[in-house]
Amino acid sequence: MKNFYYFLTFISAFCNAQYDYFPKDQSPYKDGIENYYKDFHKIIVEKGLQSCSNIDEMYNFKVLISPDATIKFVKDADEKNILENKCAFDLAREVAKYQTGWTPAIINGEKKAAIAHFIIYPDDLFEKYKEGYDSSKSYILPDYEGGINEFRKKVSNAIDLSRFNWKGKFRIVTRFVVERDGSLSNIVLEESSGLKEFDEMVIKSIKKIKNKWTPGKIHSRPVRSHMKFPLTFSME
């Protein structure tokens, strides 16, 4: 499951900037991620929930786990993703109502509210479910020709730093979706440089990269994948 913390996908009152993502070395569910999916399958059977007619549906389900181990659903701003995976989206939320194994994050020795996410691929969670199932075992991350560093290099080369008179290091973080055909969509800013003009130039630079990605896959089927893309700059 650790790979999923790199890519990435809020009841309306919350936004990602207010909360950390769940620490990679901690499990957001009692007895581990495999137990999350075991409980998921058990609830499907007990409640007589219906499977999804489209076996390609997959949803990156996010919850905010509070210090008292209660949860709130995290709003997904990607309406296209919800519409294309509505059954998986609804199923994840329905099952979550009955799950009781949520475990709060421990950050700096204290229980803290943090966002956890789980890949919901319904086709694996009904009749095909097997003991010990973990969605990360069947998920392959998107890839760029030459690797992510080649993509980062192309983006950086398209940015004109000479237009700015800054000193020191700073970071900017964007998120985007790698579509099933390898194209990019929903390119948005997550962490600003503090200068709108520079932020906009970074977004435009990403959009200029025409080479397509190899999409993420589950069981060899292409799926839409949310990616987090940080860039660090050093200016003398």
Do residues 168 and 130 both lie within one domain?
Answer: no
**Alpha-helix residue ranges (DSSP H) falling in the chain:** 33-47, 79-84, 86-96, 148-157, 196-208
Number of structural domains found in the chain? 2
Query: What DSSP letter does each residue of 62-76 carry, written as one string?
Result: EEEE-TTS-EEEPPP
pTM (two decimals): 0.75
The domain of 129 spans 2-137
My answer on whether 10 and 96 are in the same domain is yes
Q: Are residues 98 and 124 in the same domain?
A: yes
Q: What is the pLDDT of residue 17?
A: 40
Which pLDDT score, from 0 to 100, does residue 223 have? 86
Q: What is the pLDDT of residue 11?
A: 25
Walking along the chain (236 residues) 10 residues at a time, the average pLDDT comes out as 31 42 92 97 98 91 96 90 94 97 94 94 95 91 92 89 75 90 91 88 91 89 87 75
Quick one: 23 and 120 in the same domain? yes
Residues 131, 148, single domain; the answer is no
Q: Is 216 found in the same domain as 115?
A: no
Residues 157, 131, single domain; the answer is no
Same domain, 115 and 191: no
SS3 content of the chain, % helix, strand, coil (to 5): 30, 30, 40
Asked if 91 and 195 sit in the same domain, the reply is: no
